[in-house]
Amino acid sequence: MTSCLLTACVTSPTGRSQLLVMPDAQIDQMGLQSFATLKSQKPISQNGQFNQIASCIAGAITREVGGAWEVVVFEDASPNAFALPGNKIGIYTGMLTLVDNQDQLAAVIGHEIGHVLAKHSNERASQDMAVNQGLGMVQAFGNPQTAMGQTGMALLGLGAEYGILKPYSRTQESEADIIGVDLMAKAGFDPRQSINLWQKMEQATKGQQPVEFMSTHPAHATRIQQLEEHMPQSMGLFQQAQAMGKQPRCQ
C-alpha cells in the first residue's frame, strides 16, 4: 500500500490493481506518433468492401466507449489487428480474410480496444520505465528507427513490426478478452463468436504456438475456457443490446 501511495496505483476495468506513472496525454501522443509512422511505412488498403466493413464494426463498438476513433485497413496478409492510445485502430487485410463473419471481427476489434481501455500500454511503459528505461523513452517515439524507439513501439504492442517480440502479458491478454467480449455484446454482436474466432486462430497457427508456460500469451484452450466461463454475463449484455434494437449489419 505504501508503494501505491508513493506512485500511482489505479484499478483496471476488471478490478485489477495497476501501476501507472505516465500521464495519459503522453501515452496518447506516443500512440499517435506510432500510428503516423505505421501509415507512412505500410501500404493502406484501397479495398472498399474491407474499409466499409472495418469502419462499420469499429464504429458500432466505439460508440459504446465514446470518443472519435480512426480506423485504417493495412494491406498485409498476416491475420493481425491492433488499437493504440489516442483512439487509433489498425486492421490487416489478412484478418479480414480469416474471419467468417462480422461478429468474429468484432471480437478482434473489441479485444484490441480492451487493451486501450485498460491502459495496458501505460502499464507496460510504466513498468519498463520503473525498471530500466528512464524518461529517455518519451523522446524516442519521434525516431522509431532507434533502438530506444523500437523498444517504445514494442511497449505499445507494435514490437513485431520492428523485429521485437514484446507481447502483452497473459494477464493483460485475458483482461482484454473479457473487456472486448462485453464490448462487442453491448454493441449488438454475438459474443459466442469470440470462441469461434479463437478456435479459428488455433487452426491458423497449425500447432506453431509454444506451450503455455513458454509463452506470455494464454494458450488458445485457456482463452476459450475463460471466455466460456464469462459467456453468461456477455450473453446478458447481448440480449439487452438486441432488445434496444442494436443489430449491426456490417457484412
Q: Does residue 179 contact residue 101 with C-beta atoms inside 8 Å?
A: no
Q: Does residue 218 contact residue 173 with C-beta atoms inside 8 Å?
A: yes
Active-site option among 112, 123, 161, 173: 112
Phi, psi of 83, deg, nearest 5: -135, 145
Q: What is the DSSP string of the chain?
A: -HHHHHTTEEE-TTS-EEE--S-HHHHHHHHHHHHHHHHHHSPBP--HHHHHHHHHHHHHHHTTT-S--EEEEE--SS--EEEETTTEEEEEHHHHHH-SSHHHHHHHHHHHHHHHHTTHHHHHHHHHIIIIITTHHHHHTT-TTSHHHHHHHIIIIIGGGGT---PPPHHHHHHHHHHHHHHHHHTT--TTHHHHHHHHHHHHHTT-SPPGGG-SSPPHHHHHHHHHHHHHHHHHHHHHHHHTT------
- Can 112 be counted among the known catalytic residues? yes
C-alpha grid cell for residue 139?
523522446
C-alpha grid cell for residue 97?
480474410
Strand partners, 72: 90
Give catalytic residue positions. Answer: 112
